[in-house]
Amino acid sequence: MKQPELEFAFEIRVDVDRWLPIGRSADEDLTFTPITGGTVAGPMLAGTVLPYGGDWAVERSRTSQLEARYLLRADDGAVIDILNRGYFRASEEVVARLVAGENVPEEEYYFRTAPVFQTDAPAHRWLAEHQFVGLARDEDGQVCVRVFVVR
């Protein structure tokens, strides 16, 4: 049976504003984090993150289920929609370090995503025709996602 292979495609570095608590119940917390910009760079795509969209997170039992939706603009001007779902899990100590602005090594917490792209731009149609996985981390006030295409 063939095993999946991952090929590095690009890294998305997302600028975010302060998260907003929405609340839900005693067992879960709902928050929203506005996305304010950023960059995309790598061998398969380069461009910017547009300042539209955000990340909704529902935390249950120290695991956050994430759903971010925002837009990318490729260097050639094409606009690409991204829906990025995933999970974040860390100890209270690691979360406190991240909140304090420390660059915590990504091996100390779990932050994985599965981005889905939509575009009709011919040069970038491949994004809408492949499965991707993302390895994410917090770094220097940005959310950084290394995106890999599944081959």
DSSP of 22-80 = ----SSEEEEEEEEEEEEEESSS--EEEEEEEEEEEEEETTEEEEEEEEEEEETTS-EE
Mean pLDDT in order along the chain per 10 residues (151 residues): 96 95 85 97 98 95 95 98 98 93 95 98 97 96 96 96
Q: What is the pLDDT of residue 27?
A: 84
- Topology, domain 6-150: Porin (2.40.160)
pLDDT at position 10: 98
What is the pLDDT, as a whole number, of residue 33?
A: 96
The pTM score is: 0.93
What pLDDT is stored for residue 39 in this prediction?
Answer: 98
Domain boundaries, the chain: 6-150
Q: Residue 24: what pLDDT?
A: 76
Spell 75-89 as b/e; 16+ CB within 10 A means b: eeebebebebebebe
